[in-house]
Structure 1
């Protein structure tokens, strides 16, 4: 029993660090470990994964908010699109072919990872958008943060607000329809479409994931999918890990962070693509 608790806490610690750094939650680590490694039923693994996302969001967001890394206005604005998309996705579950959607969203993530590779090759340094956007100015979405790695204040402007809003709606739709975490889509929406730097994109994604997951957690709780003996040690490990991860991320160079994020994004996309053909790993 004690060994199981320590193992779950260790898994949570790693998932929390990983999730906080990349803004994608700890679900992609927690679910496979619980199902493949510990032989847990997928129903309870998904319930634990939801708790993992909320814990990662709570641990990381506090640190990011304190250090002004998190763009709260962008988070609250885009959360409208995600929530509407998630509700619509839940309503349409069973109506649209899930296998085709897994393939479609998987291909989108794979393409996004390739697009990031091209972006990385094109410039030696991490580019910061300085072009004025009328809508982002009106909504006061532009922000600034202090980069611990480069030891300088970074001012950035948010671009293509309608495009990012549409992508977030798609992320919510995917989450509601397929029951998958949409952290990767959130980061892409902010980093690639809205031209936000990767660090605030990741930090903002962490907050948004927690809001989305909290809404669905009540459903999982009342249908008995969340087991306290699994979720509690996992959450404790994740809270510690997320706090550590938020500190580690701030000291990483943006270019290095992107180099690590690209294969992670590709792996998630490949996982979704293959799941559309009935292959899971």
Structure 2
């Protein structure tokens, strides 16, 4: 009965996360901890397992469409994996109260970012690192238009990915919003490329973090299995529903939900 409850809750989390491109982890961790009383470390570990599964499916689709910049993803993963290792080491000495407060703060940050209008910020000049590593790329729009783009401020992007890796390991999230922000805002990549490359990286980062949690014994199969399967099912239906639903209304409703959950997480952490 308990596993069935986890399964249906995770379907709901995966559905909402998929509709807004946030992933189910940012929803399922607060639900498991606030409403089911599951230890936040076990909820984080289960969330990381689900992120690996959901990211793999979406990443394959983006690779097929040539939106993912693999060269850039491999370089930036150096920063995220190093950050994930640091985050895991920090998690050993961080108490649960701090994790609740940190997660609440991240939810507030996510809510604010979702209210921003997403526009492309194209780089005018290619960074020297980008020139040497040949990071600039291209993709074709649905209408046949060829889009060429350059990559700016590569060191800043690496630093941002290090922070994203720490957040991923500490909170059990893909930290996709943070990654997309860095690639879109600092590195001046097209939004489609930022989102696709971030999705590819999320799975790798989560794998590194999940492996560390597995070695520490924080992955509980009775929690991780129904959560992972539920989020995969929910993400599938979310992807099918997304084109049929008004995005603006969903975004506004979800910002309210994120804010309410953030307040609850902060209050629990402060207790």
TM-score bracket, normalised by the shorter chain, equals 0.7 to 0.9
Which SS does the other structure have where 1:133 is aligned? coil
CA gap 1:175/1:233 in 2 versus in 1, 3 angstroms: closer
8 Å contact from structure 1 (residues 12, 52) kept in 2: no
8 Å contact from structure 1 (residues 25, 52) kept in 2: no
Match of 1:67 among 65, 68, 72: 65
8 Å contact from structure 2 (residues 17, 24) kept in 1: yes
Which SS does the other structure have where 2:81 is aligned? helix
Within the alignment, does 1:47 sit opposite 2:45 as a pair? yes
Quote the residue 1:194 is aligned against.
187
How many residues matched?
263
CA distance in 1, matches of 2:43, 2:164: 21
Quote the residue 1:30 is aligned against.
28
Quote the residue 2:198 is aligned against.
205
Any stretches of 5+ residues in structure 1 without a counterpart? none
The alpha carbon displacement at 1:167 in A equals: 1.1
The alpha carbon displacement at 1:200 in A equals: 2.4
Deviations 1:177-212 (A, max 9, x none): x44533222111111111122232222222212111
Which SS does the other structure have where 1:68 is aligned? coil
Deviations 1:207-245 (A, max 9, x none): 212111112223333444323233223322333444555
CA distance in 2, matches of 1:65, 1:225: 32
CA gap 1:11/1:204 in 2 versus in 1, 3 angstroms: farther
CA distance in 2, matches of 1:32, 1:237: 16
Which SS does the other structure have where 2:147 is aligned? strand
Match of 1:219 among 212, 222, 229: 212
Within the alignment, does 1:170 sit opposite 2:163 as a pair? yes
More displaced stretch, 36-45 vs 71-80: 36-45
Q: Once superposed, what is the RMSD of the aligned Cα atoms?
A: 4.3
Consecutive aligned runs of 4 or more in structure 1 exceeding 6 Å deviation: none
CA distance in 2, matches of 1:240, 1:62: 17
TM-score, structure 2 as length reference: 0.73
More displaced stretch, 137-146 vs 150-159: 150-159
TM-score, structure 1 as length reference: 0.71
Within the alignment, does 1:113 sit opposite 2:113 as a pair? yes
Within the alignment, does 1:160 sit opposite 2:153 as a pair? yes
Which SS does the other structure have where 2:119 is aligned? coil
Any stretches of 5+ residues in structure 2 without a counterpart? none
In the TM superposition, what are the counterparts of 1:210-249 in structure 2 within 5 Å?
Answer: 210-243=203-236
Deviations 1:6-37 (A, max 9, x none): x4444434444554565543211111222233
CA gap 1:4/1:169 in 2 versus in 1, 3 angstroms: closer
